[in-house]
Amino acid sequence: MEEITALAKRRGFIFQSSEIYGGINGFWDYGPLGAVLKANVKRAWWRDTVDLRDDVVAFDAAIIMHPSVWQASGHVDAFSDVMVDCKVCKHRFRLDHLADRSKCPDCGSTNSFTEPRSFNLMLRTSVGPMEDTSSQAYLRPETAQGIFVNFKNIYQTARKRPPFGVAQIGKSFRNEITPGNFTFRVREFEQAELEYFVPDDGKDLEVFAQWVERRKAWYAAYGIAADRLRFYELTEEERPHYARAGVDVEYLFPWGWGELESIAHRGTYDLDAHMRLSGKDLRFFDEATKTHYTPLLIESSAGIDRTILTFLVDACERERSVDPNGKETERTVLRFHPQIAPVQVAVFSLARNKPELVERARTIETALRRAFRTSYDEGNIGQLYRRQDEIGTPFCITVDYETIGDGSVTVRERDSMRQERVKGDALEAHLEARL
């Protein structure tokens, strides 16, 4: 992961938060390219989950909700990990992350752990000017509960009936005991969640399977290697008692398999829990039969930050080749899918001290910006190519002296490094066909 971490910082994808003050563990900032990459990943998820369907509506819940929400959901009492401390080095560990529970992985001490104890993962805050128990609140540990407590408002105003879904993307917070593996396990993160409500008509497991297949197709469409992605079906013992089915989407990271997304059949558990504590009726009223019922829930919950990390790891490749002079060269390339890449087209001027080349290059870049994510640069062409390879730009365009004469430009493709001349009036169509 050291190579990915270094590349992410060097090229402006991800920085340690508050780095000038020594940083803060479990928090990361997305730089100029990282912010665009994140927006592209969220847009890709949103388009497939919401825009291309007529049975899914959008939602955006508040980060801070009434504390009773988390009481009803079980987070106050049960959202915890078991931790231990090493008495020698004072380091803290999640018990389930220890391969050998008799030996500290950091200092090597044996039988030095404290007794296991539970640690609630919710981050507390206070609301209002008085800091007492009456003002205690939580930063949400997941986005889904906002959908559940608003279920009746949503289906009535959106005029939807099961089967239908509600999707949202938003920040969540968990006070992880041991954050690590770069942006994989963090304390502030974004989730993309779909809550899909279905009637209890015997077709729920079929709908569950359809969503699993749709998520498989999404990862494949954006180029994630099939041999490094698996859909692990949870056994009955591994699932919560109320879940009828569960699949974890996992990617093979350098440290091993890590979960990106959970797809779960949660039955009526969530709506039932909020109805019990609030005393409010959240059942769906079927106008046709004049009956109330609680729909079943199928949930897809993906971590945006983990998905971004997956794209970075999966796309990164160190490639060796031989140049025309017989010299061995090496480059690092991010083979992003064109729709995910922060920059799709980079435009260069062959010489920065030739105003006519610079002006033409800037004119081309401005024109292409209407259709693509573009950037302009100038300088040593070989170095510019290497920089764009490292940030995953699919195409580079070089404006040279031939451009002034006949309007053609050199178009260089990232993966093959193949170059070809393209006429200026055909350039946008040429790129459109490949992006």
Q: What is the pLDDT of residues 25-78, one digit of tens each?
A: 999 999 999 999 999 999 999 999 999 999 999 999 999 999 999 999 999 988
pLDDT tens profile 352-404: 889 999 999 999 999 999 999 999 998 899 999 999 999 999 999 999 999 99
Average pLDDT over residues 165-193: 97
Q: What is the pLDDT of residue 94?
A: 86
| Fold exhibited by the domain 2-70+127-312 | BirA Bifunctional Protein; domain 2 (3.30.930)
Q: Where in the chain is the domain with CATH 3.40.50.800?
A: 343-432
Any idea which architecture 343-432 has in CATH? Answer: 3-Layer(aba) Sandwich (3.40)
Is the confidence at residue 117, as pLDDT, over 90?
no
CATH 3.30.930.10-classified regions of the chain: 2-70+127-312
pLDDT in tens, 202-245: 999 999 999 999 999 999 999 999 999 999 999 999 999 899 99
Give me the chain's average pLDDT, please.
95
- pLDDT for position 169: 99
Distance (Å, rounded) from C-alpha 58 to C-alpha 52?
12
pLDDT score for 253: 98
Given pLDDT bands bounded at 50, 70 and 90, which one contains residue 324? low
Residue 322 has pLDDT above 80, yes or no: no
